[in-house]
Every structure is written in C-alpha cells, then in structure tokens.
Chain A
C-alpha cells in the first residue's frame, strides 16, 4: 500500500503558541488530502478536505482561521493550529488520496497534540 508520513508524532506546547503538522505522501501524488481529529475512544471527525493548489474546504463547526491548511504540492499538506489552547489537545490524523490509488484513503500515523 501507499505510504503517508506524518510529523511530528507528538507535540507538547504552551497555550497561545502555534503548532504545524506536516503530512507527506511518499510514493504517490496526493490530489486530495484530508485532516481528521480524534478524541479518545471516538471515531474520526473530518475537519477539512484540501485539493492541491486550492483552498481547503472545512467541515461545519471547524474554524478555518484556527486550523490553517496548506496543500501547496502534490506530496505535502500542512495543518497549523494557531494560538493553541488546552481544548485543542487531541489526536490529529491526515489522510491522502489520489486518482492512481482509486478512492482509497491512506492515513498517516497521527500527531498527538497536548496544549498546556
């Protein structure tokens, strides 16, 4: 299967700071990338969908100014959590899809964010 690399795997930051999470498709070109948030023992909650070179489409209730998404190339998307607060602490997971892989979404290993 295709490989999606997500970095960092764990980040601890102070309240008010910004955190950037990177998601890379290593062996395929990702025309579409997705960002999810997951609380303990809960399912995946889609935050936004981004297509390369276009603005991200955010799900209802997700603040686009809070969660900045950039998908500048076919292999890289970033999620920046701006002015993070303790309630932003969660597990963030990216996913990538390309036409060459059918409609299969491949996932990164996730980033555990803790805001103190």
Chain B
C-alpha cells in the first residue's frame, strides 16, 4: 500500500459546482497536511495547510482532516474555470520531506 493515495481523475465539473478532492494515507505518524495547486508547466502553489483534525476554511476553499480515518479532503465552493489545475495533497512529520499524492486533475467547464 502506498503511503498516500489520491485519485488522479480527471475530474470535470460545471462552473459553480462544489468540488471534493480526497486523499487517504497509511502512515499514522503524519502530523501536518497540505494542499497544493499546480497549473500546467508551473511549480506547485500552496493552498492550505493544517496540523490537526478538523476543518480549516480560506475563502472558497475548505480543508478537512480526519486523523482517525487517515483521510483528508479539499472542498472548493463556487468553482471557477480558473480553478482548473492539478491538486496535490501532501503530508509529513518532523523534518522529513513532504510525501505527495499523485495529484487530481480538475477541469471546471464554463
């Protein structure tokens, strides 16, 4: 079993839809969790980070962590065509490098 599992998609939704992106993980030692957005041929851009179970909201984005289930989610409300990108979950512990999911390709259709 891979440390981090993420459905690669592609996921296609109409503009205005609520998008749900998810990752599961196997390593219970992970302490912090992040979501990055990567546009084509660009570096990943940090969207959200959290260190605990629960929800964290920032504008149209909500990150959710359930450590008991080893499951994290990113919700995008009122999705826009500009949200079309690849979304990478990442997690880590201590000073080790982040472990990334494979990324989910999202297309928001106008």
Knowing A32-B95, A43-B100, the reply to whether A108 touches B88 (Cβ < 8 A) is no
B72 proximal to A (CB < 8 A): no
> How many angstroms from the CA of A6 to the CA of B42 in the assembled complex?
11
B14 proximal to A (CB < 8 A): no
A residues contacting the other copy or chain, number (CB 8 A): 23
> Chain B residues with Cβ under 8 A from A1's Cβ?
46
Knowing A44-B44, A110-B43, A112-B41, the reply to whether A104 touches B103 (Cβ < 8 A) is no
Closest to A109 in B: B43
CB proximity of A107 to chain B, nearest CB, Å: 4
Please report A residues at the B interface, Cβ cutoff 8 Å: 1, 4, 6, 32, 34, 41-44, 46, 49, 91, 93, 102-110, 112
Please report B residues at the A interface, Cβ cutoff 8 Å: 32, 34, 36, 41-46, 49, 88, 90, 92, 95, 97-98, 100-103, 105
